[in-house]
Amino acid sequence: MEIREYRSSDEKGWVRCRVLSFLDTAYFDNVLREKERYENPSIELVAVSEGQIIGLLDIEYEIEEGTVCSRGTGFGGMIWHIAVHPDFRRRGIGKLLLKKAEQIAREKQLNRLEAWTRDDKWVNNWYENSRFLKVDSYLHVYLDGGKEHNEHIQSEVPNLFPIHTFAHYVGEDKENIKRKFKRVHECVCYEKILN
């Protein structure tokens, strides 16, 4: 296995790896058809085995403080994507990708990494075991038609009826929101200080 920089010819394998990696997570419906491009500089790594992309990690980083990350001071990097193909999990690939990315981030004078993820216990455990600290959270709320929409979402456009809604809840009464709606995820911010 090799950890190397992403190349444009990797895009199809990158997308395939990301889709398969997210299927058994709370982000199962966050499907991309092409690899994201970033406005700021980025660290984009892939793990490759026998010509197949089996892991990936993308970090967009700041060259102007406060332009990418949501918190902290100094220059930070946002982990937008980290994924390991399900057939290759539990082999330390994510750890190797992170180690290489941290090395590059330090060379670029970044002082911290930030990552947002949902409430999959095993994913949160991975961040905590990788020495990230939980520093913030809010809720992702999905409303799917019917009663949830009729009671809470209305359109001001005549004859336009919302069917699906994705919303952020940033208030204090998280437990009530979790009881009120069928699909709610805690979106957790992790931060790692790079020494």
Q: Are residues 63 and 155 in the same domain?
A: no
Mean pLDDT of 134-139: 96
Instruction: Please name the residue that has the structure tokens 């990936």.
Output: 56
User: Is there a domain that residue 28 lies in?
Assistant: yes
Nearest to 3 by CA among 72, 125, 91: 91
Q: Are residues 99 and 158 in the same domain?
A: no
Residue 88 near residue 49, CB atoms below 8 Å: yes
Range of the domain at 153: 139-183
Q: Are residues 25 and 69 in the same domain?
A: yes
User: Is there a domain that residue 161 lies in?
Assistant: yes
User: Is there a domain that residue 39 lies in?
Assistant: yes
Q: From CA 56, how far away is CA 3, in angstroms rounded?
A: 9
Residue 65 near residue 59, CB atoms below 8 Å: no
Q: Are residues 80 and 152 in the same domain?
A: no
Positions of E strands within 21-176: 42-49, 52-61, 76-84, 112-117, 133-144, 164-169
Q: Are residues 114 and 167 in the same domain?
A: no
Q: Are residues 125 and 153 in the same domain?
A: no
Structural tokens at position 137: 């959270």
Count of the separate structural domains present in the chain = 2
User: Is there a domain that residue 96 lies in?
Assistant: yes
**Domain boundary residue among 134, 156, 173?**
134
Q: pLDDT, tens digit, for every residue of 58-100? A: 999 999 999 999 988 889 999 999 999 999 999 999 999 999 9
Q: Are residues 40 and 117 in the same domain?
A: yes
Q: Are residues 107 and 149 in the same domain?
A: no
User: Is there a domain that residue 190 lies in?
Assistant: no
pLDDT at residue 69, rounded to an integer: 94
CATH of the domain at 78: 3.40.630.30
Q: Are residues 55 and 123 in the same domain?
A: yes
pLDDT at residue 162, rounded to an integer: 84
Rounded to two decimals, the pTM is: 0.92
Q: Are residues 69 and 125 in the same domain?
A: yes
Q: Are residues 83 and 7 in the same domain?
A: yes
Mean pLDDT of 39-52: 97
